[in-house]
Amino acid sequence: MAVRVGSKVRAPVTIVEQGRARKRLDYLAAEEPLEIRLQAGGQTKTVAVTMRTPGADFELAAGFLYSEGVISERGLIRHIAYCIDPEVDAEQRYNIVNVGLHLPVLPALATLERHFYTTSACGVCGKASLEAIEMRGCSVLPAGPFVVPDVLTGLPEKLRAGQGLFDATGGLHASGLFSAAGELLCLREDVGRHNALDKVVGWALLNHKLPLSDCLLLVSGRASYEILQKSTVAGLPIVCALSAPSHLAVDVAREFGLTLVGFLRGERFTIYAGEERILIGG
């Protein structure tokens, strides 16, 4: 029987090695639903349900709402709390987050339509996706910061060193926020790569650090459209990934002036957009 321990679940497994089997307890990454509810003007409405790794739930909720255009600034948030409704099962209360807003009525939620129909399998229209970001008020990012290759190649080791849950489970994505000098500022892990980034953006929002115009981002997997969309909204000028970007991610980076780096491994990486921010010697 699996037993939940924080963000991990302890479960019995069978290890087979050289034809011999042995039983042991192993840690798995916890995956549970998080329901995000908005409250304003005496009304409550569920706006999203996402599968996530428990932990940094308030940051996830705040980052999701900001990245998806539901809120535009930290000052709109009155409070963030777990559900205390007595009609909700006690075990599920920590899977429901209420976000109270300083608004007389609930905001329009048309911006969330893309979130509910977009999947990596079906994709979305590229032109419509770029226009959706423009409608958020995002413009081309300004020049800088400028970094040398050694800063970028040093990021994966720092990200990996901070992945405590990955060490225990081997099954989590990570997003790491770094200064232009390569100092780790914030690292969050989750079973969903987009959730990990939302947690980072939520951390920045709640701590009044947006826009992230002097920072670098490293994600542990591939760079998808969603990753670039959320990075653009947060004002992140340099986005790096350990794996490849999608073609639409490259389109977003080029359209909005982000530097996009993929296959960042060892001393090698590939630049897909914004080469001018990386100071490459002759």
Q: What angle do CA 179, 182, 185 make, to 5 degrees?
A: 50
Residues in contact with 82: Cβ distance below 8 Å, sequence separation at least 6, in sequence order? 57, 93, 94, 96, 97, 98
Token pair for 211: 């826009």
Query: Which of 117, 137, 152 corresponds to the end of one domain?
Result: 117
- Looking up residue 243, the CATH number of its domain turns out to be 3.40.140.10
Query: Which residues on adjacent β-strands are paired with residue 218?
Result: 176, 240
Assess if residue 233 is contained within a domain: yes
pLDDT tier at 281 (50, 70, 90 boundaries)? confident
Assess if residue 143 is contained within a domain: yes
Question: Residue 210: pLDDT above 60?
Answer: yes
Burial of 62 (0-12, 13-18, 19+ CB in 10 A): buried
Burial of 59 (0-12, 13-18, 19+ CB in 10 A): buried
Residues in contact with 146: Cβ distance below 8 Å, sequence separation at least 6, in sequence order? 180, 277, 278, 279
**Any idea which of 49-63, 68-82, 117-131 has the lowest mean pLDDT?**
117-131
Query: Pick from 158, 231, 168: which is nearest to 196 by CA?
Result: 231
Query: Pick from 236, 276, 241, 240: which is nearest to 256 by CA?
Result: 236
Question: Residue 83: pLDDT above 80?
Answer: yes
CA dihedral 279, 187, 183, 145 (to 10 degrees): 40
Query: Which of 117, 146, 170 corresponds to the end of one domain?
Result: 117
**Any idea which of 10-14, 20-24, 235-239, 244-248 has the lowest mean pLDDT?**
10-14
Residues 87 and 168 in one domain: no
Instruction: Classify residue 276 by its DSSP letter.
Output: G
At 238 the pLDDT is 98
Residues 88 and 141 in one domain: no
**Any idea which of 81-95, 185-199, 231-245 has the lowest mean pLDDT?**
81-95
Range of the domain at 107: 34-117
- Go through 211-238 and write b for each residue having 16 or more CB atoms within 10 A of its CB, e for each that does not: ebeebbbbbbebbbbbbbbbbbbbbbbb
125 is catalytic: no
pLDDT tier at 71 (50, 70, 90 boundaries)? very high
pLDDT tier at 129 (50, 70, 90 boundaries)? low
At 255 the pLDDT is 94
Query: Which of 117, 136, 167 corresponds to the end of one domain?
Result: 117
At 56 the pLDDT is 95
pLDDT > 90 fraction of the chain, expressed in percent and rounded = 67
Residues 192 and 102 in one domain: no
Residues 110 and 153 in one domain: no
Question: Residue 123: pLDDT above 50?
Answer: no
Residues 235 and 166 in one domain: yes
Averaged pLDDT, 19-47: 91
Residues 108 and 145 in one domain: no
For the chain, how many structural domains are there in total?
Answer: 2
Is the bond into 145 cis (omega within 30 degrees of 0)? yes
Token pair for 175: 């997003």
Assess if residue 66 is contained within a domain: yes
**Any idea which of 34-48, 65-79, 110-124, 230-244 has the lowest mean pLDDT?**
110-124
pLDDT tier at 232 (50, 70, 90 boundaries)? very high
Could you give the CA distance from residue 248 to residue 254 in angstroms, rounded to a whole number?
10
Assess if residue 29 is contained within a domain: no
Question: Residue 21: pLDDT above 50?
Answer: yes
Assess if residue 248 is contained within a domain: yes
pLDDT tens track for 88-117: 666 667 899 999 999 999 998 765 654 543
| Distance of alpha carbon 210 from the chain centroid | 15
Averaged pLDDT, 194-217: 97
Residues 268 and 161 in one domain: yes
Averaged pLDDT, 28-56: 92
At 66 the pLDDT is 96
Residues 43 and 155 in one domain: no
Q: Is the dihedral of CA 173, 171, 60, 107 positive or negative?
A: positive
Amino acid in position 204: A
Residues 68 and 187 in one domain: no
Assess if residue 273 is contained within a domain: yes
Instruction: Please report the DSSP string for 108-169 in residue order.
Output: P-GGGHHHHH--TTT---HHHHHHHHHHTT--PPPS---B-HHHHHTHHHHHHHT-HHHHHH
Among residues 83, 122, 186, 240, the one annotated as catalytic is 122
At 121 the pLDDT is 34
Q: Does an H or E element contain 65, and which?
A: helix 57-67
Residues 130 and 269 in one domain: yes
Assess if residue 203 is contained within a domain: yes
* Helix/strand/coil percentages in the chain, nearest 5: 35, 35, 35
Residues 220 and 253 in one domain: yes
Phi and psi torsions of 7, nearest 5°: -90, 5
Residues 88 and 171 in one domain: no
Assess if residue 16 is contained within a domain: no
Q: What is the pTM of this model?
A: 0.89
pLDDT > 70 fraction of the chain, expressed in percent and rounded = 84
- Looking up residue 90, the CATH number of its domain turns out to be 3.10.20.10
pLDDT tier at 170 (50, 70, 90 boundaries)? low
At 111 the pLDDT is 57
